[in-house]
């Protein structure tokens, strides 16, 4: 890596101030950024570590019944502390990476990075979550804007994510054999307003909602309701690990399995 | 034979591996743990294109960067030798292979992604990397030769401008068989033809390569610490052929080495560079490969494209085998690369079967890819895979039981001279197959398949045999075959005054457990506890010239040298004991560490004799010298031929194409066994690697020669969850007839025997439940299985 300074603010206000410095870069759990720095693929002059900010950590349910997760909360903590409230989300968190990744990686970092194969974007989008930053609140539908692209402005920090808790939900991912990221991951969430289906890993445009499946499942929440439905392979990722057609096929399979597993 | 007591530490004891204590507690001494006072660090600037002409390179700005000691380019190595190749293959027309120059640093052209263009030596690694970014250079990119078939076409880009084409050699084996083979195939009742790919692999030892070199200005001596499976060989190759340093001025040390799998046999440019630069910079120089560098600079393995034909008569007896293989050499000839697709591959094409006519053709091809060389099994897995796949395919085409077809064609009389120039000394293939049927519970497969089908899954069973030629091998034979080295092994047994023993072996342990198993042999011979014996290896200054560890040769060849040296020790010790007890030498017996005189109650202990050897107050000085240290060099008369039968059961999810290994069973015949637990561990590891090749691993290049699988994000390694608990058995033992231990070697068997078992099982699953897939190439990854099912 190149040399950089590091700031370790303990309040959100100090973090925002530090990110105002030239070529400053926020550092969450570092599970993507640190390997990137080691390969000299990024050269920030200042890294602003968010992991010392207590107000950005924790899992709680607010008065409106939303599950509120601080942006600096690790996957491991979500896996444990969200389990009683939102088992589908806790289960997703418990299968991200390996224990070392889960003990460092954070939900805010994952959503800010918006890796097309990351798991959390599927949960946020399917849940209709709200991404809270130091300046505003952004609905998940507006937040994800394509592979590695979000609505975040320069220096904006994901401080919290507010999840409506669905009646039943399930996330099923099919792992890419090498990286074990989601080759295709599908999150299905059923609430009083209907069913939302979000797909990660598959598309060149990042996480997306499968509206046909949502409509079918909203009228009848069963595996059979998905019969005959398929997504187009046009925008699907094609690489060493699978063709576009394979990924499109897996979207259907994983969606059915998520519906079957929803609880 | 083995004694079955808790205190027994000799042959047959499953002693826990003593070296694991330091490995598992973080106290190993790996090459990267070694730092020399004042050392500088080297960073290699590597080509990011597969093929190109270096039109300019300007290091002047970089030389002024902070911390820079010196920057080297290819020009600095013009007067230095080429990285040598250790094996010369003669082609089917009698011409020797093409052998292009392999410079330490690329000069004129770059020939693969990762080819080093410049080396920056600096006070710190970060400064070296900073300076590398300040080197200004231009590479005129050229079309790359990547696909082997394309690389052989007229007008293909030439990897080496001074060669007429990209064909390294066109080898026929045995050329005299060709006519009879063609005739047998023409007149056969049935011919099964299979075209397949043996996928390119990256060895990925846990420890990347490292080199630390120092030069002593007072005596002009060099020391190189390097991650090697054979430090003596590196000393010879690098000293004699590259840098011109005689052996007595060059010490090569390979301390704890964290896995090799073949890829640490070879002499690499980076270690030659560090040794050269240590003198040029008058400072020790250290290089530690990153994992990214390992992917593009460690020699790769396999990468064969093969067509095999199996001819059978009307009674399903094998009558002929004909194969045509393209073998990828990569951009340069790595140390033993030419031998892998030829002598380590063609000689095994008979397998376990009495096929009278066999002809093997191999064309070795230069491409703009990382050099390819031996990887666990080296040539023998490629032979086994194609043979065992085509037999399975023949059985399916003929509608006969694949095990019965194999049994019918087994070699049953030994010694057996194959049509491909080797003579199997011993074996019992029906016995290992019987054992396999028992431990794999093949009778229960049908019920297990029903259970899988009830869950919506397909289930397949794959069975195969293997044979390998290992214990490599007789020097006079390999010399005729083109080896530029001998393949004996050495041992010095140094008995100390108090009776403890240091055994210096020329073989090298990088995970095999030699430090535990070798003392068991000496302990057995002397009747003393193995804890009194230590193994010393991996340092050219501490032991006699030896050839190192690969080809499952350490115990068969190195262990035999140790036996010979220990026999000399016993002979001399008996003379001393006879003198001490005033008895005749012929009456002395050694048992349980005591020398006795037959028919009397006289005895002296092992320690009394060893002390007398070094404090020779009462000693037969007129007859023998003081001291108790003996050396032996052992050169075997033949290869050894381990064999076995493997079975794999897979479950296949037809919706996703994902294959899981449900059961894996291995019945091996390794001859006599020193430490059964270590043998099981070697088989386990080999099978895991074979499963990796069969289901997961795939080193892929795009059409421009860019490495697509350049990190663990895209190169899939097997993990614990990908492999089942294995059923392994090595109770079938037909001892090797020509080495003193009767051992055959076990290091590579698992990696040789397992890929065909896995793929045979996958294909079996893909021919159930209404599916019909004749063949698919490795790795049987989910997307590829799914694609195969789509037809």
Would you call A39 and B292 a contact, using CB atoms and an 8 Å cutoff?
Answer: yes
Distance CA B510, CA B268 (A): 18
- B700: contact with A, CB 8 A cutoff: yes
Distance CA A172, CA A177 (A): 15
User: B541 CA to chain A: closest CA distance, Å?
Assistant: 38
Same domain, residue pair A128 and A197: no
* CATH code of B569's domain: 3.30.365.10
Average pLDDT over residues B217-239: 97
How many A/B residue pairs have CB atoms within 8 Å?
Answer: 43
SS (H, E, C) B730-789: CCCCCCCCCCCCCECCCCCHHHHHHHHHHHHHHHHHCCCCCCCCCCCCCCCCHHHHHHHH
* CATH code of B241's domain: 3.90.1170.50
Would you call B709 and A178 a contact, using CB atoms and an 8 Å cutoff?
Answer: yes
DSSP, collapsed to helix, strand or coil, labels residue B233 as: helix
Same domain, residue pair A207 and A230: yes
Contact B344, B488 (CB under 8 A): no
Where is B662: in which H helix or E strand? strand B659-669
Q: Which residues of A touch B658 (CB under 8 A)?
A: 174
Same domain, residue pair B746 and B765: yes
- Mean pLDDT (chain B, rounded): 96
Same domain, residue pair B609 and B665: no
ipTM for the predicted complex comes to: 0.96
Same domain, residue pair B91 and B138: yes
Same domain, residue pair A58 and A154: yes
Tell me which residue has tokens 């190149």. A2
Same domain, residue pair A77 and A154: yes
- A95: contact with B, CB 8 A cutoff: no
Q: How confident is the model at residue B9 (pLDDT cuts 50, 70, 90)?
A: confident
* CATH code of A45's domain: 3.30.43.10
- B431: contact with A, CB 8 A cutoff: no
Domain range for A143 is 54-163
Let me know if residue B688 belongs to a domain.
yes
Tell me which residue has tokens 């020779």. B616
Where is B729: in which H helix or E strand? strand B726-729
Domain boundary at A134, A163, A192, which?
A163
Q: How confident is the model at residue B471 (pLDDT cuts 50, 70, 90)?
A: confident
DSSP, collapsed to helix, strand or coil, labels residue B563 as: helix
**H runs (alpha helix) in chain A:** 12-19, 33-38, 75-81, 87-94, 99-104, 107-113, 120-127, 140-143, 211-219, 244-261
The count of structural domains within chain B is: 3
DSSP, collapsed to helix, strand or coil, labels residue B254 as: coil
Q: Which of A133-142's residues contact partners 24+ apart within 8 Å by CB, and which partners?
A: A133/A157, A133/A158, A133/A159, A134/A12, A134/A15, A134/A16, A134/A159, A137/A162, A141/A209
Domain range for B230 is 34-142+206-259+264-297
Same domain, residue pair B455 and B524: no
Same domain, residue pair B598 and B682: no
Would you call B655 and A253 a contact, using CB atoms and an 8 Å cutoff?
Answer: yes
Instruction: Tell me how far apart the terminal alpha carbons of chain A are, to the nearest angstrom.
Output: 45
- A250: contact with B, CB 8 A cutoff: yes
Per-residue confidence (pLDDT) for residue B8, from 0 to 100 = 85
Let me know if residue B483 belongs to a domain.
no
Same domain, residue pair B110 and B248: yes
Distance CA B246, CA A29 (A): 53
Same domain, residue pair A71 and A99: yes
Domain boundary at A106, A133, A163, which?
A163
Q: Which residues of A touch B715 (CB under 8 A)?
A: 178
**H runs (alpha helix) in B319-440:** 380-398, 402-409, 429-439
Q: Which residues of A touch B127 (CB under 8 A)?
A: none
Q: Which two tokens stand for residue B217?
A: 């200005």
Same domain, residue pair B645 and B743: yes
Kindly calculate the radius of gyration of chain A based on its CA atoms and give it in whole angstroms. 18
Residue % of chain B over a pLDDT of 90: 97
B721 DSSP assignment: G
The minimal CB distance from A179 to the residues B292, B657, B713 is found for: B713
Angstrom CA distances, B188 to B317, B361, B409, B662, stand at 10, 20, 16, 38
The minimal CB distance from A240 to the residues B126, B708, B717 is found for: B708
Domain boundary at B590, B617, B634, which?
B634
Using CB atoms within 10 A of its CB, is residue A68 exposed (0-12), middle (13-18) or buried (19+)?
A: middle
User: A106 CA to chain B: closest CA distance, Å?
Assistant: 20
The count of structural domains within chain A is: 3
Let me know if residue B97 belongs to a domain.
yes
Would you call B714 and A39 a contact, using CB atoms and an 8 Å cutoff?
Answer: no
Tell me which residue has tokens 């999840």. A163
- For residue B48, give the nearest of B117, B145, B130 by alpha carbon: B117
- B292: contact with A, CB 8 A cutoff: yes
Q: How confident is the model at residue B472 (pLDDT cuts 50, 70, 90)?
A: confident
Average pLDDT over residues B435-463: 98
* CATH code of A226's domain: 3.30.390.50
Q: Which of residues 245-274 of B touch A (CB under 8 A)?
A: none
Per-residue confidence (pLDDT) for residue B6, from 0 to 100 = 55
B5 has pLDDT over 60 = no
- A3: contact with B, CB 8 A cutoff: yes
Same domain, residue pair B670 and B691: yes
Average pLDDT over residues B389-401: 98
Same domain, residue pair B690 and B741: yes
* CATH code of A155's domain: 3.30.465.10
Kindly report, residue by residue over B252-300, the tens digit of the pLDDT.
999 999 999 999 999 999 999 999 999 999 999 999 999 999 999 999 9
Domain boundary at B600, B634, B668, which?
B634
Per-residue confidence (pLDDT) for residue B1, from 0 to 100 = 43
Let me know if residue B154 belongs to a domain.
no
If you measure CA to CA, which chain A residue comes closest to B716? Answer: A178
Let me know if residue B201 belongs to a domain.
no
Domain boundary at A122, A147, A163, which?
A163
- For residue B547, give the nearest of B630, B473, B482 by alpha carbon: B473
Kindly report, residue by residue over B697-746, the tens digit of the pLDDT.
999 999 999 999 999 999 999 999 999 999 999 999 999 999 999 999 99
Cα torsion angle, B534, B487, B568, B587, sign: positive
Same domain, residue pair A73 and A121: yes
As separate numbers, helices (DSSP H) first and strands (DSSP E) second, chain B gives: 19, 30
Same domain, residue pair A159 and A129: yes
B228 has pLDDT over 50 = yes
Distance CA B560, CA B110 (A): 45
Q: Which residues of B touch A239 (CB under 8 A)?
A: 714
Would you call A174 and B292 a contact, using CB atoms and an 8 Å cutoff?
Answer: no
Same domain, residue pair A30 and A122: no
Same domain, residue pair A146 and A240: no
Quote the longest CA-to-CA distance of chain B.
86
Per-residue confidence (pLDDT) for residue B473, from 0 to 100 = 77
Would you call A178 and B716 a contact, using CB atoms and an 8 Å cutoff?
Answer: yes
Would you call B787 and A246 a contact, using CB atoms and an 8 Å cutoff?
Answer: yes
Same domain, residue pair B707 and B595: no
Would you call A178 and B713 a contact, using CB atoms and an 8 Å cutoff?
Answer: yes
Could you write out the DSSP letters of every residue in A195-256? EEEEEESSBTT-SEE-HHHHHHHHH--SGGGGTT----STTB--BTTB-HHHHHHHHHHHHH
Would you call A179 and B656 a contact, using CB atoms and an 8 Å cutoff?
Answer: no
- A177: contact with B, CB 8 A cutoff: yes
The minimal CB distance from B696 to the residues A177, A250, A253 is found for: A177
- For residue B71, give the nearest of B275, B297, B273, B298 by alpha carbon: B273
Same domain, residue pair B395 and B466: yes
Instruction: Tell me how far apart the terminal alpha carbons of chain B are, to the nearest angstrom.
Output: 56
- For residue B283, give the nearest of B40, B514, B51 by alpha carbon: B40
- A35: contact with B, CB 8 A cutoff: no
Domain boundary at B602, B634, B666, which?
B634
Q: How confident is the model at residue A148 (pLDDT cuts 50, 70, 90)?
A: very high
Contact B710, B296 (CB under 8 A): yes
Let me know if residue B305 belongs to a domain.
no
Kindly calculate the radius of gyration of chain B based on its CA atoms and give it in whole angstroms. 27
Same domain, residue pair B588 and B455: no
Same domain, residue pair A146 and A202: no
Could you write out the DSSP letters of every residue in B2-21? ----TT--STT--PPPTHHH
Let me know if residue B3 belongs to a domain.
no
B7 has pLDDT over 80 = no
Same domain, residue pair A208 and A145: no
Let me know if residue B321 belongs to a domain.
no
Per-residue confidence (pLDDT) for residue B480, from 0 to 100 = 86
Contact B468, B752 (CB under 8 A): yes
Where is B170: in which H helix or E strand? strand B167-173
């Amino acid at each position: 890596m190149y040399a950089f300074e590091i700031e370790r603010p303990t309040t959100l206000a100090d973090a925002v101030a530090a990110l105002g410095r030239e070529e400053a870069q926020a550092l969450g759990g570092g599970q993507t950024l640190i390997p990137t720095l080691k390969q000299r693929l990024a050269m920030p002059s200042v890294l602003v570590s968010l992991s010392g900010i207590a107000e950005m950590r924790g899992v709680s349910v607010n008065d409106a019944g939303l599950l509120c997760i601080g942006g600096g909360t690790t996957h491991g903590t979500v896996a444990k502390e969200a389990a009683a409230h939102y088992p589908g989300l806790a289960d997703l968190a418990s299968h991200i990476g390996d224990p070392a990744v889960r003990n460092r990686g954070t939900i805010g970092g994952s959503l800010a990075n918006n890796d097309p194969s990351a798991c959390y974007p599927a949960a946020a989008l399917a849940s209709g979550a709200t991404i809270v930053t130091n300046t505003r609140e952004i609905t998940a539908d507006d937040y994800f804007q394509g592979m590695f692209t979000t609505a975040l402005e320069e220096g904006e920090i994901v401080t919290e994510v507010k999840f409506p808790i669905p009646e039943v939900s399930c996330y099923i991912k099919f792992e890419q054999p090498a990286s074990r990221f989601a080759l295709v991951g599908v999150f299905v969430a059923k609430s009083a307003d209907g069913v939302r289906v979000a797909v990660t890993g598959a598309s060149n445009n990042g996480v997306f909602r499968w509206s046909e499946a949502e409509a079918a499942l909203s009228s009848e929440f069963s595996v059979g309701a998905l019969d005959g439905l398929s997504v187009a392979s046009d925008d699907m990722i094609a690489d060493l690990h699978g063709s576009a057609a394979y990924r499109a096929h897996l979207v259907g399979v994983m969606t059915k399995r998520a519906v079957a597993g929803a609880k | 034979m083995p004694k079955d007591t808790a205190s027994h530490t000799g042959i047959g004891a499953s002693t826990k591996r003593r070296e694991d204590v330091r490995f598992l507690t973080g106290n190993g001494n790996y090459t990267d743990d070694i730092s020399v006072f004042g050392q500088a660090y080297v960073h290699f600037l590597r080509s990011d294109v597969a093929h190109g002409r270096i039109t300019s390179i300007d290091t002047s700005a970089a030389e002024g960067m902070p911390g820079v000691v010196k920057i080297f380019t290819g020009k600095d190595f013009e007067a230095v030798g080429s990285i040598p190749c250790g094996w010369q293959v003669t082609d089917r027309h009698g011409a020797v292979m093409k052998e292009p120059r392999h410079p330490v640093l690329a000069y004129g052209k770059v020939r693969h992604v990762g080819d080093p263009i410049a080396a920056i030596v600096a006070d710190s690694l970060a400064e070296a990397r900073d300076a590398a970014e300040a080197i200004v250079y231009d590479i005129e990119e050229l079309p790359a030769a990547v696909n082997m078939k394309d690389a052989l076409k007229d007008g293909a880009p030439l990897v080496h401008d001074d060669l007429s084409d990209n064909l390294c050699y066109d080898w026929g084996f045995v050329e005299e068989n060709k006519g009879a083979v063609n005739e047998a195939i023409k007149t056969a009742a049935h011919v099964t033809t299979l075209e397949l790919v043996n996928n390119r692999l990256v060895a990925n030892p846990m420890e990347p390569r490292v080199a630390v070199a120092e030069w002593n200005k007072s005596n002009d001596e060099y020391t190189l610490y390097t991650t090697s499976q054979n430090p003596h060989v590196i000393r010879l190759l690098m000293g004699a052929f590259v840098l011109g340093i005689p052996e007595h001025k060059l010490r090569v040390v390979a301390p704890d080495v964290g896995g090799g799998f073949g890829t640490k046999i070879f002499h690499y440019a980076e270690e030659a560079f560090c040794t050269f630069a240590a003198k040029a910079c008058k400072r020790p120089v250290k290089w530690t490969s990153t994992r990214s560098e390992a992917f593009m600079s460690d020699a790769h393995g396999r990468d064969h494209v093969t067509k095999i034909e199996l001819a059978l008569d009307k009674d399903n007896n094998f009558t002929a085998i004909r194969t045509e293989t393209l073998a990828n050499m990569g951009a340069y000839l790595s140390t033993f690369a030419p031998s892998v697709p030829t002598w380590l591959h063609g000689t095994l094409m008979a397998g376990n079967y009495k096929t009278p006519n066999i002809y093997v053709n191999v064309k070795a091809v230069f491409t703009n890819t990382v050099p390819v060389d031996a990887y666990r099994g080296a040539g023998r897995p490629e032979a086994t895979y194609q043979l065992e796949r085509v037999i399975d395919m023949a059985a399916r085409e003929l509608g006969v039981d694949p095990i019965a077809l194999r049994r019918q064609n087994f070699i049953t009389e030994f010694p057996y001279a194959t049509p491909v120039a080797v003579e199997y000394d011993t074996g019992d293939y029906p016995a290992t197959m019987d054992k396999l049927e028992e431990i794999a519970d093949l009778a229960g497969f049908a019920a297990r398949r029903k259970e899988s089908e009830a869950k919506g899954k397909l289930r397949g069973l794959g069975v195969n045999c293997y044979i390998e030629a290992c214990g490599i091998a007789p020097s006079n034979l390999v010399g005729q075959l083109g080896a530029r080295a001998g393949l004996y092994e050495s041992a010095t047994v140094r008995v100390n005054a108090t009776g403890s023993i240091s055994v210096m072996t020329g073989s090298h342990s990088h995970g095999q457990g030699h430090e535990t198993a070798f003392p068991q042999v000496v302990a057995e011979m002397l009747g003393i506890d193995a804890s009194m014996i230590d193994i010393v290896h991996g340092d050219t200054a501490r032991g006699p010239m030896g050839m190192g560890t690969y080809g499952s040769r350490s115990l068969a060849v190195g262990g035999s040298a140790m036996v010979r040296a220990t026999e000399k020790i016993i002979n001399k010790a008996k003379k001393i004991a006879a003198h001490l007890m005033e008895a005749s030498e012929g009456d002395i017996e050694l048992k349980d560490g005591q020398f006795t005189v037959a028919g009397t109650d006289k005895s002296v202990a092992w320690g009394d004799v060893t002390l007398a050897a070094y404090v020779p107050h009462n000693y037969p000085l007129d007859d023998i010298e003081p001291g108790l240290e003996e050396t032996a060099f052992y050169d075997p008369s033949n290869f050894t031929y381990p064999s076995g039968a493997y079975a794999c059961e897979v479950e296949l999810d037809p919706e996703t194409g994902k294959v899981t290994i449900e059961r894996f069973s291995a019945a091996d015949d390794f001859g006599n066994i020193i430490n059964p637990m270590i043998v099981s561990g070697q088989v386990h590891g080999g099978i895991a690697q074979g499963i990796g090749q069969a289901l997961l691993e795939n080193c892929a290049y795009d059409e421009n020669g860019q490495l697509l699988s350049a990190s663990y994000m895209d190169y899939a390694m097997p993990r614990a969850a990908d492999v089942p608990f294995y059923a392994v058995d090595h109770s079938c033992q037909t001892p090797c007839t020509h080495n003193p231990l009767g051992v055959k070697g076990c290091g590579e068997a698992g990696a040789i025997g397992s890929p065909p078992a896995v793929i045979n099982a996958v294909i079996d699953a893909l021919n159930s439940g209404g599916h019909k897939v004749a063949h698919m190439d490795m790795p049987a990854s989910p997307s590829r299985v799914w694609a195969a099912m789509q037809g």
